[in-house]
A and B are shown apart, each in its own frame.
Chain A
Amino acid sequence: MDSETLLSRITDYANRPNPYPLYAELREAGPVVRQADGSYLVGTYHQIGALLHDPRMSVDERSRTNPPPEEIKNPSFLRLDDPEHHRLRTLAMRPFGPPHTPGRVNAMRGEIARITTELLEALPTDRQIDIVDDFAYPLPVTVICRLLGVPREDEPRFRVWADALVAAADVRPDEDTTEQDEAGRQAGSEMGQYLLDLAEQRRGKPTDDMLSAFVNEPDRSLRLTPEELTATGALLLIAGHETTVNLITNGVLTLLRHPEQLDRLRREPQLLPQAVEELLRYEPPVHMRERAPLADIEVAGTTIPAGTSVVLALASGNRDPKQFHEPDRFDPTRPDVEHLSFGSGIHLCFGGPLARIEADTALGALLPRLGAARLVQDPPPYRQNAMLRGPRHLFVQL
């Protein structure tokens, strides 16, 4: 049956530029669709929402038996279930957000705007630019470096590790992933040591960043262990930019494909916060998340055995006509955009507010320059990654 190959086709690089027809096929095939390898694919809005809130759904790869996981060491809270997830996420949140540090992200607006301006001023005016390499990548990298306390000039080093880790975390149903998994483990261990060294340098000599806050926490019971600190630090460093680069790039791409909406936003920039949410819905930076039930569960009449991989196609849920009127239309004035792009439930994206401010600032600053801009190549070349889907380059003539 064709529907059994949906995940393979979605992750097939040939379909990276436009996986949306496959998502429509997925929703047509039912709320829960079994794949040839025994895993399940879920693509309807309400079913994804229900599973994201279901406390029986585990994010821990070690609870997966089909297919069995590779050896996992020292997972971050992204890959842990409650109560351990809650404890670690709460500790990581202390120097980042409410209730302990409610103003931190908001206070970064000025700095984000400054970095944005610097990047825009450095753009060449005489030739085409690459939105990814010249703008959408350096912005969130610089921001997350400042926030964490990682030297910006180390970017070439951690980029290698980040690439390996992101590749290892991708959804690849048909491939032998041993090599990538091993590379990911190696990168994770090197990155962890790197972050630990940085944090050690700040012990007793705090600078105003999260690594400093982690090592200088006076209350022992609220301090991360070295293993927890490396897992958390690596997660924040990678998630802090690998996703936002897609959000900004997809934003520029979508606006250039919809010149009438671009014009409207240029005239009414106060629509931008809403437009960012619509962009998140329409072209989400993260297309899929994987879970496994801890017990046999019944989903829409199908019994999914404990330990079975369940892939939630967030990007498909975002295009579900049962939730969104004319879902394939990009409409920055769409009301009540309750998209799934940051997930939902206890694992809702940790850095969502930062990503929003970065996207809002970046697109707001770019808008005046996009009036006469045109895409040099459409569709653009995409990154290999199916889960973190976005262009590798986006060449634009301003």
Chain B
Amino acid sequence: MPSDLRDGRIVIVGASLAGLRAAETLREEGFAGSLTVVGDEPRPPYDRPPLSKQVLIGDVPAEATALPMRRDPDAEWRLGVAATGLDLLEKRVMLADGESLSYDRLLIATGTRARPWPNPEEGALQGVFTLRTIDDATGLAEALAAGPRRVLVIGAGFTGSEIASACRERGLDVTVAERGPAPLVGALGGTLSRLATLMHRGHGVDLRCGVTVTALHGDGNGRFTGADLSDGTRVEADVCVVALGAVRNVEWLAESGLAAGRRGVACDAGCQAFNMYGIVINDVFVAGDVSRFPHPLFGYQMLSLEHWGNAVAQAEVAAHNMLNPGPLQRPHLTIPTFWSTQFGLNIKSVGVPTYSDHVVIAQGSLEARRLAMVYGYRGRVTAAVTVDMGKVLDYYRHLIETAAEFPPPPGAADRAIAADIPIPSDVPDPKGLSHEPVVALTGYLPDRRLMVVQPVG
């Protein structure tokens, strides 16, 4: 590493998982200069996945979720102060307390926040929660422990489903209202969303699909009492959790000239930020939930992922590239992976299930609640989702990495009867060019991975 890259000032904006792992990696790779980490929450980095699981069940207090360090990154932590602006020319980050920090290299890792209920007055009712931070989780866990008559969960994505699962585990009555036809349909497609429906209902969730919540009601003291649904019914409940997904924390970049928008901050495969003209800004890097990056395996589409594993992997690549000149930089080629634990089932996904036109159940069965579903797009394997079958996921990851033919080859002993019969994946159509080349990854180790392109004749 050239000595000028090993020294100087690096500022990381964002003090959660990606920010922490980037800071550690910078030191691991020999950065000897000054390192400042800015975070708008007053707390040191903590882990969010337990907030919708262990914490809501009541096993773990929310404030016990601090992330362990791999090593002390020897950083100055500016916690409880948000970044409010960025001057690319002056190389300066403006802070909410009026100060500013100058940098030689900057990492943007500001992540996301919970999408609030669109009506602020209704959203402010006592008993209405979102779930993203320790404070959110503490409040919600207390409200659940108080034994509410009923909990209303708005939105049946992963977070909403996990919250409903935790409520049922605590023996609480719960209603889930989802605008779509079934839980998880946007992420996993039609077939698995039907399994999700069965799991909700089988565990006693009052699941209402194809409806929206039109109003939240409070009593005279500002306490939430219930909600109106678009089908004309009313749900009486003491607690309401708004689980409508995430908003990317990009407002502070609005005037910066970076390509920052609703779907995140765009960057290249080496995590360097684009400005609004699509030109790479050399000293500004992006990692984690706030980033949008092109992935060659998925038609070079710009991916926005809210995945724990992506935050870690991308932070490591960004940190490496902050310390290395162009030819030594690494691409972020990690295959997207996520998990969710709900209603006693473990769901794991590898690849991009929404980048698909067909699926097959390759192993196991819906009846057994144990299966591997493989997703294909134009005859190539692009994703796989397992339910309580996580041990086979590596095999399917390899098929994705090598752009293997879809449906996957036969031979599994527990092959499903219908493993040869692709059915429509029933997810939003992936946008894609009509004749993109097939791309595969080679190599085993993340830092020695290469891409090979096989032109389509």
Direct contact of A and B (CB under 8 A): yes
- Chain A positions within 8 Å of B, measured between CB atoms, are 46, 49-50, 53-56, 58, 60, 81-83, 86, 293-295, 297, 306, 322, 345-346, 348
**A148 vs B394: C-alpha distance in the bound complex, in angstroms?**
34
Chain A residues lying within 8 Å of B409, measured Cβ to Cβ, are 56, 295, 297
Give the nearest-CB partner of A58 in chain B.
Answer: B413
Chain B residues lying within 8 Å of A60, measured Cβ to Cβ, are 413
- Chain B positions within 8 Å of A, measured between CB atoms, are 362-364, 368, 370, 372, 391-392, 394-395, 398, 409-415, 444-445
Chain B residues lying within 8 Å of A86, measured Cβ to Cβ, are 370, 414
Contact B392 A345 (CB under 8 A): yes
Contact B414 A53 (CB under 8 A): no
Interface SS majority for chain B: mixed
**A200 vs B267: C-alpha distance in the bound complex, in angstroms?**
68
Chain A residues lying within 8 Å of B398, measured Cβ to Cβ, are 50
Chain B residues lying within 8 Å of A55, measured Cβ to Cβ, are 362-363, 372, 392, 395, 411-415
**A314 vs B364: C-alpha distance in the bound complex, in angstroms?**
28
Q: Indicate the member of B363, B364, B444 with the most A CB atoms within 10 Å.
A: B444
Known: A345-B391, A345-B392, A346-B392. A56 touches B364 (CB 8 A): no
Contact B394 A294 (CB under 8 A): no
Chain B residues lying within 8 Å of A293, measured Cβ to Cβ, are 411
Closest chain B CB from A27 CB (angstroms): 14
Contact B413 A53 (CB under 8 A): no
Known: A46-B444, A83-B368, A322-B444. A346 touches B391 (CB 8 A): yes
Q: List 6 A-B contacts (CB under 8 A).
A: A46-B444, A55-B413, A56-B412, A295-B410, A297-B411, A346-B392
Closest chain B CB from A304 CB (angstroms): 11
Looking at the complex, which one of B394, B411, B414 makes contact with A295 (CB distance below 8 Å)?
B411
Chain A residues lying within 8 Å of B413, measured Cβ to Cβ, are 55-56, 58, 60, 81-83, 294
**A37 vs B233: C-alpha distance in the bound complex, in angstroms?**
73
Give the nearest-CB partner of A83 in chain B.
Answer: B414
Chain A residues lying within 8 Å of B370, measured Cβ to Cβ, are 86
Closest chain B CB from A240 CB (angstroms): 23
Give the nearest-CB partner of A51 in chain B.
Answer: B395
Chain B residues lying within 8 Å of A306, measured Cβ to Cβ, are 411
**A390 vs B392: C-alpha distance in the bound complex, in angstroms?**
31
Contact B394 A50 (CB under 8 A): yes
**A155 vs B238: C-alpha distance in the bound complex, in angstroms?**
64
**A81 vs B395: C-alpha distance in the bound complex, in angstroms?**
16
Give the nearest-CB partner of B372 in chain A.
Answer: A55
Chain B residues lying within 8 Å of A345, measured Cβ to Cβ, are 391-392, 394
Chain A residues lying within 8 Å of B391, measured Cβ to Cβ, are 53, 345-346, 348
Chain A residues lying within 8 Å of B414, measured Cβ to Cβ, are 55, 81-83, 86
Q: Indicate the member of B364, B395, B409, B410 with the most A CB atoms within 10 Å.
A: B395
